[in-house]
Structures are given as structure tokens and as C-alpha cells.
Chains A and B, each alone.
Chain A
Amino acid sequence: MHSPANTPVYERVRRNPKFQELVRQRSRLALILSAIVLVGYYSFMMVVAFAPDLLHKPMSDDSALSVGFPIGAAIIILSWLLTGVYSHFANGRFQDLTDEITRETLQ
């Protein structure tokens, strides 16, 4: 076994209300962002598989580019921006909270 079960240090962390808050809030953020990316991507794939004509539509009457291109690019750019959102919160508020918990636990 890598570490004995229920080490006192970890027990203390678990009892810390800040830990509960950290886990709840960060998990919620991660789940919401994952859901946005996955739902967005799989909806797109379903359109590709079942209703490809929707993506064939030209962007305007005299345009050669179809709406599929900006939509595809948007999926990539939006997904990337969401990694920025996650990093912003995880490295800011959540990291501060983690540091506080670590300090309180290890002192």
C-alpha cells in the first residue's frame, strides 16, 4: 500500500469546511465546462452524421464559404477559451483556497 488509510493529516483536511467548499466548487466548474465542450462537440458530430446539409449552407447568398467553417472554428476557439476560464479560476481562487488549507493543515 502506498499510504496507510486515513492518515490524520488527511482526516484534518477532510474536516476543514474550506476543503468541502473547494471540492464542491471546483468540481462543479470542471463538470459544467466539460459538459459544454462535450455537448457542443457531440451535437456538432451528430449534425455531421445525420444532417450534413445544415453545415453546407453558404454564409450569405453570394458567399462560397459555408456556415460549417465558422462553426467548426468556433468549437476549437471556444474550447480553448474554456481552458483559459478553468485555469483562471483554478489558479486563482481555488489555488488560494488550496494554499490556505495546506497552511492550516500542516502548521
Chain B
Amino acid sequence: MTGRRILLTAAAATLFALPALAAGDVGQLEKQPVNLSAIAMFLAFVVMTLGITYWAASRTRSTSDFYTAGGGISGFQNGLAIAGDYMSAATLLGLSSLVFAKGYDGFVYTISFFVGWPIILFLLAERLRNLGHFTFADIASYRLDQGKIRTFAAIGSLTVVCFYLIVQMVGAGQLIKLLFGLDYNVAVIVVGVLMVVYVTFGGMIATTWVQIIKAVLLLGAGVILAFLALSRFGFSLEAIAQSAIASHKDGVKIMGPGTLLADPVSAVSLSLGLLFGTAALPHIMMRFFTVPNAREARKSVFYASGFIGFFFLIVCVLGMAAITIVGTDPQFFEGGKVGGKLIGGGNMPVMHLAKALGGDLFLGFLSAVAFATILAVVSGLALAGASAIAHDLYARVIRKGEATEREEMRVSKIASLVLGVLAVVLGIAFEKQNVAFLVGLTFGVAASVNFPVLILSMYWKGLTTRGALAGGIAGLISAVTLVILSNAVWVVVLNNPKPIFPYEQPALFSMTLAFIVTIIVSKLDSSASARAEREAFEDQFVRSQTGIGAAAAAKH
């Protein structure tokens, strides 16, 4: 069934909630006719971003330029880039199709996606900025054992990056096959090659600008589409709602919560994974180091959450409008059967909406934006992965800080190339694979492995290296195990009749376990190094609050 497949792959990219819906059978998509206007617009985007990469390459001299754009991005620009990192193609396609299919339940997901941002600002952004240099491992290893913690944090980051990359690559391949009419493998290779070019030549400067352009395009496309949709209904939300109730098979039920989140344990586990998984995604955390100071870091989260919130609200309007405009138009259904299968699958309502309201040209534009979006997210991920390898593993652990900047940069570039090849190979290998479990794993690992260590290292004096390692490993093992035992893998992939773990998201359980183990092991740790680590907290605390010493540390 193509609908489910699309929902799974494209939407799963950031929407790990969707597998609940999409974990069904994995079918094959049919290739659509070659879409010339979409390809032309996409090429225009690629040419523009390659130009930027060329410009950025001339400015990328130091590791700091490479990883953090030299800290020279303004709060507003960085806000757009963060929003770009967070608003993937899945947000546009997945959330709007959820609203299209389920009405208000889709809106509940949208809200859950949003609330992590204010929390990140209030509790994390400042300290991340003041303590960190390039990566999240910088923070965790501030007072703990460098070698062990950096290795552990780098592995955690790389795990998240790799799973997320696969999901994005598979989503890209499927989307492009559908929207551009290109082969799956061609699409995956194009994404991989462009990603490597942006990252190796332009580093964070290019990646940031690709992200900014894409965020502007995505916001612009959303606003235009919403304007066109609203104009059909005399700019009245009430009229949209009335007509949606009349058109949707569930009628008035779509105006309130239905069955999607009926189970409170799943709802809580989902929201915990979203809140804290987001906060611990390596490519998102890296964005706090691209601005010159804490002031700009705070501003950037304010702008980012403004853009994200605004976009999410627009997406809901689009989904509601699509219920009538797309849902009652036979041209968008296979065989012209209204209420049957949507052409291109269940993830396509917003694309059909674009065609209905703006014709083929607008559909082409939106397709190009969707592709650009995947490209930008993948580049951010690759850079985060490369920094974990080059900065944490190579420069700090293997060379123990003796590597020159030039050497570290060379390793970063090789690492991005390797990640690019890996992403293409895995993207092709996983084409027909159910990626739902990968999405569950991505957020599960981020929330259970990275997050507890990150937050406790900043907030809890008692944390020791042993505790962090034990808790992190417990989180990793439990998150992976629970995902394997859940419906997405145990039933869908392994064909067992019933899942052993009844919920889709492990965060509630694996994250709690990680916290408990970390705290108990830290408490029991009476070694001399543990004592030193606890004592060092006071100094770390001053720096995390004031940033004093941060500038000096950035030159080490």
C-alpha cells in the first residue's frame, strides 16, 4: 500500500510518532512522470547553494569556521537555520497529512512537536553555549574523564546521526521518485553527493546558509499556500471547519481528539521522547555554537521557535483546507474514486493542495522545496557526525589534543566523505526496509543516551564518569531493546503476532532507567577521581552561568 509507505518514509524523518500509523505493510511506490518544472526549480536551488558553498569555502580556514561558521552567524540568521534544521520535509508533508487524515489529532502532534523549544531555551541553551565549544561532548567532558566521556558521547552522537541519516535518505529517495519522476537510486546518490560537497567544501558556513535559504523557501511556500487556501473560503477558519466536517468521513469527530493518543502511557512516552530527544540531537545542539555569544544564542531560539510555531499553525490550516479541496476532488484519487487511495500515497495532501490551488508550477516549486529541505537537514547531520569523529574521537581522544587544526580539518572532511558514502549505501540498502524503528531509535537514543548525561553534567554536582557511562549504556541498551520488542520491529519486521513491548516509544522507560542508573552509580562511586569531578562542578557552574573562561577555552 503506497500511502502507508510514503507516510512511513518521508514523514518518519522527524515525525517518529507516525510509525504508529505507518507501521503497516511496506509496499513499493510507483514512479511518477518526470516533473520538469520541479527539476528546474530544484536545479536553481542547487546552483545557488553551490555558489554559496564556493564563497564559504574561501572563508573556511580554521576548525572553528568549519564546525561553527567561526561563531559569526547572527541570532536572527541562526534562528532561521535552527528552524530549518527542525522543519524537515516530514513536518510539511507528515503533519499536514496527519491533520488531513485525522483532524484534531494531527494538531495534537503538532503541539507536542513544538513545546520542546521553550524548554530548551529555559534550561539548556545558555549553558550549552557557555560550556561548549563545538560539540555536545565538550559539555559532558568538561569535568569528567575526557577520553571515556568523549568516546561515549561521540558514539551516542554518531548513532543518532546515522539512524537519522538513513531515515532522511530513504525519505528523499521516495519523495524524489514520486515528485520528480527520477529513480530512487539516482535520488539518493544526488542527495549524498550534494551533502558531501556542501559539508566538505563549505563547512558550517555553507551548511548554515543552505539551511537559511531552505527555511525561507519553506516558510514562503507555506504562507502562499495558506493564503491561496484561505481565499477559497473567504478567509474564514469557520468556513474551512464547516466544509471539512461536511467532507470528512468522520464528520464532526475531526474537531476533537480521537483515537490517536487514547493511551496515556504512549502519549507521555511520546512527548518525553520529543521534548528531550530534540534537545539532545547533535545537529541541533551544534547550532548553539554558531553565534558569537550567549545573547545571540538566546535570541536565535526565540526567533527559531517563532518561525517553527508559526509554520506549524500554517501547516494545520493547510491540512484542514485540504480535507475539502483535495478530499473531494476525484483528480487526486487513484481511479478518480473520492475517498479511496490518494495518488502518490497518504503523505501527499499538501502536494495535491499545491496543484489544486497553484497549478503545476506551484507543485513544482513545493517539490523543489521539499527536496531542498531534505538536503539541508542531511548536511547538518553530516556535519554533526563529522565533528564527533574529528573533534571528539580523533583530536581529543586519539591525539589527546596534539592534533593541529589542519589535521583535524582534514579528518573532518574525510569523515564527511565517509558519512556521505555510508548514507548513500545505507539509503539504498534500506529502500524497502521499514524505517519506523529507526526513527523510534533515533529519538529513543537521543533522549536516553545523550540527554541524561548532558543534563546531569550541567545540573547535578554528584555526576561522575562511572555514573555517566553506566547510565548512558543502560539507556542505549534499553532503548534499542524496547524498540526491537515494540510493534515496529517485533511485529512488522520480525512477523510475530504481538509486540512484547506494547508502546511505540521507549523514552518513558529507557530514559528513566538511564537517569536512575546514572544517579545510583554516581552515588556509589567513591574513587578519588569521582571526588575531583564533584569538586570541579563549582567552577563549571560559574562558567555555565556567566560564560567566563568560555572565550579563552575556545582557543585551546
> For A14, what are the chain B residues with a Cβ–Cβ distance below 8 Å?
538, 542
> For B115, what are the chain A residues with a Cβ–Cβ distance below 8 Å?
37-38, 41, 75, 79
Task: State in angstroms the CA–CA spacing of A3 and B123 once bound together.
Answer: 23
> For B309, what are the chain A residues with a Cβ–Cβ distance below 8 Å?
76-77, 79-80
CB proximity of B86 to chain A, nearest CB, Å: 14
- Contact of A5 with B536 at beta-carbon distance under 8 Å, contacts A55-B256, A76-B111, A87-B121 already known: yes
The interface residues of chain B, by DSSP majority, are classed as helix
Indicate whether A56 reaches chain B with its CB closer than 8 angstroms.
Answer: yes
Q: Which stretch (B141-149, B377-385, B413-421) binds chain A?
A: B141-149
Chain B 462-496 interface residues, beta-carbon cutoff 8 Å to A:
none
Cβ–Cβ contact B143 & A83, under 8 A: no
Cβ–Cβ contact B256 & A13, under 8 A: no
Indicate whether B258 reaches chain A with its CB closer than 8 angstroms.
Answer: yes
Chain A 43-62 interface residues, beta-carbon cutoff 8 Å to B:
44-46, 48-50, 52-53, 55-56, 58
Cβ–Cβ contact B238 & A63, under 8 A: yes
Q: How large is the interface on B (under 10, 10 to 19, 20 to 34, 35 or more residues)?
A: 35 or more
> For B547, what are the chain A residues with a Cβ–Cβ distance below 8 Å?
98, 102
Cβ–Cβ contact B536 & A48, under 8 A: no
Nearest B residue (CB) for A54: B256
Q: Per-residue CB proximity of A32-44 to B under 8 Å, as 1/0?
A: 0110011001101
Cβ–Cβ contact A10 & B238, under 8 A: no
Contact for A1 among B122, B143, B295, B538, CB less than 8 A: B143
Chain B 501-556 interface residues, beta-carbon cutoff 8 Å to A:
532, 535-536, 538-540, 542-543, 545-549, 553
Chain B 197-250 interface residues, beta-carbon cutoff 8 Å to A:
237-238, 241-242, 244-245
Indicate whether B301 reaches chain A with its CB closer than 8 angstroms.
Answer: yes
Task: State in angstroms the CA–CA spacing of A74 and B319 once bound together.
Answer: 18
Cβ–Cβ contact A38 & B119, under 8 A: yes
> For B542, what are the chain A residues with a Cβ–Cβ distance below 8 Å?
10, 13-14, 19
> For B536, what are the chain A residues with a Cβ–Cβ distance below 8 Å?
1, 3, 5-6
> For B545, what are the chain A residues with a Cβ–Cβ distance below 8 Å?
19, 22-23, 26, 98
Task: State in angstroms the CA–CA spacing of A76 and B546 once bound together.
Answer: 30
- Contact of A56 with B256 at beta-carbon distance under 8 Å, contacts A6-B538, A37-B115, A72-B111 already known: yes
- Contact of A30 with B123 at beta-carbon distance under 8 Å, contacts A10-B538, A14-B542 already known: yes
Cβ–Cβ contact B122 & A86, under 8 A: yes
Indicate whether B355 reaches chain A with its CB closer than 8 angstroms.
Answer: no
Indicate whether B312 reaches chain A with its CB closer than 8 angstroms.
Answer: yes
Q: Per-residue CB proximity of A87-107 to B under 8 Å, as 1/0?
A: 100110001001001100110
3 tightest A-B CB contacts, nearest first: A56-B256, A66-B255, A64-B241
10 further A-B pairs in the complex, CB-CB below 8 A; given A48-B267, A52-B258, A86-B302: A1-B532, A3-B549, A38-B115, A41-B112, A45-B261, A49-B264, A56-B252, A56-B253, A58-B255, A79-B117
Q: Can you spell out 11 A-B residue pairs with CB atoms less than 8 angstroms apart?
A: A3-B549, A45-B261, A49-B262, A55-B104, A56-B252, A64-B255, A65-B255, A68-B256, A80-B118, A86-B121, A86-B122
Interface residues of B (CB under 8 A from A): 104, 107-108, 110-112, 114-115, 117-119, 121-123, 126, 141-143, 146, 237-238, 241-242, 244-245, 252-253, 255-258, 261-264, 267-268, 271, 294-295, 298-299, 301-302, 305-306, 309, 312-313, 532, 535-536, 538-540, 542-543, 545-549, 553
